[in-house]
Structure 1
Amino acid sequence: MRLQEDFGYEQKNRNMEHVLGPITHDILKKGLTYPEFRILTEKLVAEGKTTGANQSEAYLEYTRLNHQRMKRWDKTLKISTEMTALVQSISEPQVWTVITEAWCGDGAQSIPFLAAVADLNPVIDFRILMRDEYPEVMDEYLTNGARSIPKLISMTADLTCELFIWGPKPDYLITRLKEYKHDAKGLSYQDYSTEVHLWYARNRNHDLEQELIPLIQSTLIV
């Protein structure tokens, strides 16, 4: 049984857990690269659609916003020299799998950075799976019993060892969401959502990077 932490990620030490998990090579072959995910999202926006069963106007609008967010991040995101050196020091092949949906706002804010980090080293195979297409995968990576996305799962190339998990959002936002659910203090959900996306814009992936660094370090053979 895999233990899920209350915070946004869990760390595996070098005695990596051998797993017979739900992510298989056949599933990964159906996964999307980041450029393919961007093309899919753009196509869905043009057709007035999104991924998953919920095709409500709200979810279509989320997808339109996410398309613009990812376009903006693709042009403006920056990775620190520390992270660049760390990722480029990885010598053993890894598979990074992200579970998300086109309408997921947190995914649009984080996935461009995750993909750019993975792109720093050709030994990292970066793949994106749609949550609702692979419930058997999602249900192995719940957050407090919920199918929260995005979730990043790093594994060895043979998919037998789980290296680390991150998601569904930076720790600050996990704490902020708990506070909001406990006491909204009169703040509407729309205003809360605006606050969250302003935080992403101002934080510029700093917290995400700082959370990833020790996780990636834990996968290195020293």
Structure 2
Amino acid sequence: MKNAAHLFPYAVTEKAYSYSDYMELMEKVVLENRTTGLKQSEDLNHYTRLNLSRMQRLNKKVTVNEDLKKTIDRFQFPQTWFILTEAWCGDAAQNIPSIVALASLNPQITVKLLLRDENPEIMDAYLTNGGRSIPKLIAVDENFNELFTWGPRPSGAQEMLKAYQANPVKPYMEFAEDIQRWYISDKTESIQKELKELLEGVLIENKF
């Protein structure tokens, strides 16, 4: 089991956001017509506005399925779920509400959100095919032993991205709209299925 204590020192965890604080940050940057992260542009500001609306909608609509509820209930030890994100990321907007909804069902789980560009050491320890793709979920126990990781998107959306990168026949903004339509059609089923598989793997490994 990988120990990630060196990646999450006190200084880092202290500047992490709770989910409510992160939503307040989203609202703040939208009002200021900007986004989070090192890069600033009108396109990223546009995506951030859309993402705030998406997250507000999903915060009200996400329903954790019964099988996943039963799985999360079996965890009886403290753990922290760190999520690397930025306000402009469409995949983060579509997936983080489901992660938070699941974690909120078990009082043993604490969710902390970290901005990717402010935490390059952590991000670079969890690259996806060499890239700083987000969102990235890293779950650790109270001793910072890594339990599982997930991200940056469900496998169905990931396959769509791979196909687009191999043959980018349309502008990226149009492809981004295709991905968002996939999420709407999927109704969070894929991320819930993938998280259930990961959690069951942790239970088996730890003999719970």
The answer to whether 1:197 aligns with 2:180 is yes
- d(CA) in 1 for partners of 2:172, 2:19: 30
- d(CA) in 2 for partners of 1:144, 1:68: 30
The answer to whether 1:131 aligns with 2:116 is yes
Secondary structure class of the residue paired with 1:143 = coil
Aligned length: 205
- d(CA) in 1 for partners of 2:68, 2:194: 11
Q: Where does structure 1 lack aligned partners over 5 or more consecutive residues?
A: 1-15
The CA deviation string for residues 151-189 of structure 1, in whole angstroms up to 9 with x for no partner, is 000111121x111110000111111111111123x3332
The corresponding residue for 1:8 is none
Q: Where does structure 2 lack aligned partners over 5 or more consecutive residues?
A: none
Matches within 5 A, 1:34-49: 34-49=19-34
The CA deviation string for residues 30-51 of structure 1, in whole angstroms up to 9 with x for no partner, is 1111111111100111111211
Structure with more of its chain in helix, by fraction: 2
Letter in 2 for 1:211: E
The answer to whether 1:22 aligns with 2:10 is no
Runs of 4+ residues over 3 Å off in structure 1: 18-21
The corresponding residue for 1:141 is 126
The answer to whether 1:176 aligns with 2:160 is yes
The TM-score, its normalising length taken from structure 1, stands at: 0.89
The CA deviation string for residues 20-63 of structure 1, in whole angstroms up to 9 with x for no partner, is 54122331121111111111100111111211121211111111
Q: What value does the CA root-mean-square deviation take over the aligned residues? A: 1.2
The TM-score, its normalising length taken from structure 2, stands at: 0.94
- d(CA) in 2 for partners of 1:214, 1:29: 30
The corresponding residue for 1:12 is none
Bigger relative contact order, structure 1 or 2 (CA pairs below 8 A, ≥6 apart) = 1
